[in-house]
Amino acid sequence: MFNQSVKLPLLGFVLALCLGTTASAQTAAPAAVPNSTAPAESVQQPAVTPQVENLKVSVLNLNRDLLILEEELLYPPSNQVAIYLSMDLGEFFSLDAVKLEIDNKLVTSELYTEKQINALYRGGVQRLYVGNLKAGEHEVSAFFTGRGPQQDYKRGAKLMVTKTQAPLVLELKIIDSTAKLQPTFEIKEWKAE
């Protein structure tokens, strides 16, 4: 099993090997000496060999596999909780910040830029938090701060969840309520079908 202290030096070694191979391939090629009678366009740089390209692809695949392994080791499915954030049209609410608490302990907070908010309006879903949670009853609370057309909002939503041996996935939803002409905030548990 890899841990953080083993993985980073190994990845650094592989990247250094890849870069060293690229540098040695470039220095091993004979340098073209420009002829005073030859036009400047005839000087060509040596092409990167397919072997070096294949090595780069292998390094990228290894990095992806190591990241997946790290996530599986840090957040085993029996303890994993993942919390996502999504938004509706945003006519009645413009999000500034979110704070997330589990069992009255702050686990994450996020301040949003205009680009992030636009991405959420276009249907994006943000992975707000991934962590471990013991089996049993837990209280998940989210606090939303933002601006509306008439007033500023500071609202919250709370949900009691029962963590089992299966991964727990929750979604924080900000929805425009046209009936109330204001935003609604809820926490929804995703069920495996």
Question: What is the C-alpha separation between 150 and 146, in angstroms, rounded?
Answer: 12
Which amino acid would we find at residue 119?
Answer: A
Number of C-beta neighbours around residue 36 at 10 A: 4
Q: What is the mean pLDDT of residues 127-137?
A: 89
- Please state the separation of Cα 125 from the chain's center in Å: 11
> Which pLDDT value is given to residue 129?
92
Question: What is the C-alpha separation between 168 and 162, in angstroms, rounded?
Answer: 9
Could you write out the DSSP letters of every residue in 40-96?
GGG--PPPPPHHHHHHHHHHHHHHHHHHHHHHHHHS-TTTEEEEEEEE---SS-EEE
Question: Looking at the whole model, is its pTM more than 0.85?
Answer: no
User: Do 116 and 85 form a contact (C-beta atoms < 8 A)?
Assistant: no
Reply yes or no on whether the pLDDT at 36 is more than 90: no
| pLDDT tens digits, 169-193 | 999 998 888 777 788 888 998 876 5
Instruction: Of 87, 97, 162, 159, give the one whose Cα is nearest residue 118.
Output: 87
Reply yes or no on whether the pLDDT at 60 is more than 50: yes
User: Do 84 and 170 form a contact (C-beta atoms < 8 A)?
Assistant: yes
